[in-house]
Amino acid sequence: MTDTTVPTDPLLAELLDLALEAGRRAGVLLRDGRPQDLSVARTKSSPIDVVTEMDIAAEKLITGFLAEHRPDDGFLGEEGASSAGTSGVRWVVDPLDGTVNYLYGLPTWAVSIAAERDGETVVGVVEAPMRSETYRAVRGGGAYLRAGGQGEWRRLAARPAPPLDQALVSTGFNYVQTVRAHQADVAQRLIPRLRDIRRSGSAAIDLSDVAAGRLDGYYERGLSPWDLAAGDLIAREAGALTGGRPGRAPSGELTLAASPGVFEPLQALLEEYGAWHD
Q: What is the pLDDT of residues 120-149, one digit of tens each?
A: 999 999 999 999 999 999 999 999 999 987
Whether 145 and 13 map to the same domain: the answer is: yes
- What is the reported pLDDT for 2? 44
Q: Which residues contact 130 (CB under 8 A, 6 or more apart)?
A: 31, 107, 108, 109
Q: Does 196 lie in the same domain as 138?
A: no
How large a percentage of the chain has pLDDT more than 70?
98
Q: Which of 47-56, 62-71, 79-88, 99-108 has the lowest mean pLDDT?
A: 47-56
List the one residue out of 17, 14, 15, 8 whose CA is nearest residue 90.
15
Both 31 and 70 in one domain: the answer is yes
Within 10 angstroms of residue 197's Cβ, the number of other Cβ atoms is 16
Closest CA to 31 of 115, 117, 133, 123: 133
Q: Is residue 278 part of a domain?
A: no
Q: Are residues 190 and 213 in the same domain?
A: yes
Instruction: Please tell me whether residues 173 and 116 are part of one structural domain.
Output: no
Same domain, 113 and 220: no
Domain CATH for 96:
3.30.540.10
Which whole number is the average pLDDT over 85-98? 97
pLDDT at 1 exceeding the cut of 50: no
**In terms of domains, do 218 and 149 share one?**
no
Domain range for 103 is 3-155
135, 156 contact by CB (below 8 A): yes
- 3-8 — which CB contacts under 8 Å span 24+ positions? 5/141, 5/142, 5/144, 5/153, 5/155, 7/138, 7/141
Q: Per-residue DSSP letters for 2-53?
A: -GGGS-SSHHHHHHHHHHHHHHHHHHHHHHHS--TT--EEEESSSTTSEEEH
57 and 94 housed in the same domain: yes
Residue 39 lies in a domain: yes
Residues 6+ apart with CB under 8 A from 81: 59, 63, 75, 93
151/188 same-domain check: no
Q: What is the pLDDT of residues 143-183, one digit of tens each?
A: 999 998 778 999 999 999 999 999 999 999 988 888 899 99
pLDDT in tens, 204-241: 999 999 999 999 999 999 999 999 999 999 999 999 99
> Which of residues 122, 155, 188 is at a domain's end?
155
Tell me if 260 sits within 8 A of 266, measured CB to CB.
no
Structural domain count, the chain: 2
Report the C-alpha gap between 179 and 278 in whole angstroms. Answer: 5
CATH of the domain at 200: 3.40.190.80
End-of-domain residue from the set 93, 128, 155: 155
Strands 40-43 and 50-52: antiparallel
| Residue 220 to residue 228: CA distance in whole angstroms | 10
Q: What is the dihedral of CA 163, 165, 166, 167, to 10 degrees?
A: 90
Distance CA 146, CA 136 (A): 9
Tell whether 215 is covered by a domain. Answer: yes
- Asked if 206 and 172 sit in the same domain, the reply is yes
Judged by average pLDDT, the poorest of 22-26, 79-83, 100-104, 107-111 is: 79-83
Q: Which helix (H) or strand (E) holds 264?
A: helix 263-273
Q: Tell whether 212 is covered by a domain.
A: yes
**Is residue 52 over pLDDT 90?**
no
State residue 138 phi and psi, 5-degree precision: -125, 135
* 172 and 107 co-located in one domain: no
Question: pLDDT value at position 4?
Answer: 61
Q: Answer yes or no: is 97 within a domain.
A: yes
Among 100, 120, 155, the domain boundary falls at: 155
Q: Are residues 116 and 190 in the same domain?
A: no
